[in-house]
Amino acid sequence: MKLMFASDIHGSVYFCEKMLEAYQKEEADRLILLGDLLYHGPRNDLPKDYAPKQVIFLLNEIKDDICAVRGNCDAEVDQMVLEFPIMADYCIILEGNRTIYASHGHIFNKDNLPPLKEGDIFIHGHTHVWKAKKREHYVLLNPGSVSLPKEGNIQTYGILEDGMFTVRGFGGEIVKSLKV
């Protein structure tokens, strides 16, 4: 199974379109959205082409492909307009004999880990900074931010396929690959 992970759209129709173009090009089986879909939040500037109503329309068009978790900027009012569930704090994806634990990152993070077994994968967004590291007992991943990257990063998403996690920019460039 090929999974695409994306986080922190923050209402940017421009970068939502880029994300969906990448999703089609990647021919992934599922799009896992790691929260902060519509609202930019009080700490962020408005992202390019901030248009949450258009983002709603674009995401609802592929609702059957999406698995999403709630970010710190997501609210019940967002759930009222989105046609797929977004209010869960985490989702669990089983891959062979290990678990992929996906969350936004504001509740569960490297300092407050979810329940993980040896070799499990923990993936989150929230920081707007991509990450791909093997820790002592688990793998820590972050696809970065679709619209508002930090620390000099570019806009990115992640692909997990055949035990390889790859962070990519929307121009197709590979930012990081890690065998997980």
Q: How far apart are CA 90 and CA 108, in angstroms?
A: 9
Please check whether residue 69 is in contact with residue 34, taking contact to mean a CB–CB distance below 8 angstroms: yes
Cβ-based neighbours of 77, under 8 Å, separated by 6 or more: none
Question: In the prediction, which pLDDT does 73 show?
Answer: 96
Question: In the prediction, which pLDDT does 95 show?
Answer: 87
Buried b (16+ CB within 10 A) or exposed e, 130-139: bbbeeeeebb
Cross-strand bridge partners of residue 177: 166
Please check whether residue 101 is in contact with residue 69, taking contact to mean a CB–CB distance below 8 angstroms: no
pLDDT tens across 64-95, in order? 999 999 999 999 999 999 999 999 999 999 98
pLDDT tens across 21-36, in order? 999 999 999 999 999 9
Instruction: Choose between 18 and 40: higher pLDDT.
Output: 18
How many angstroms separate the Cα of 2 from the Cα of each of 26, 35, 48? 9, 20, 29
Residue at token pair 């990448």: 22
Please check whether residue 69 is in contact with residue 104, taking contact to mean a CB–CB distance below 8 angstroms: yes
Question: How confident is the model over 120-134, as a mean pLDDT?
Answer: 97
Answer whether residue 123 shows pLDDT above 90: yes
Angle at 81 between CA 76 and CA 84, to 5 degrees: 85
Q: How far apart are CA 105 and CA 125, in angstroms?
A: 6
Please check whether residue 133 is in contact with residue 110, taking contact to mean a CB–CB distance below 8 angstroms: no
**CB-CB neighbours of 2 under 10 Å:** 12
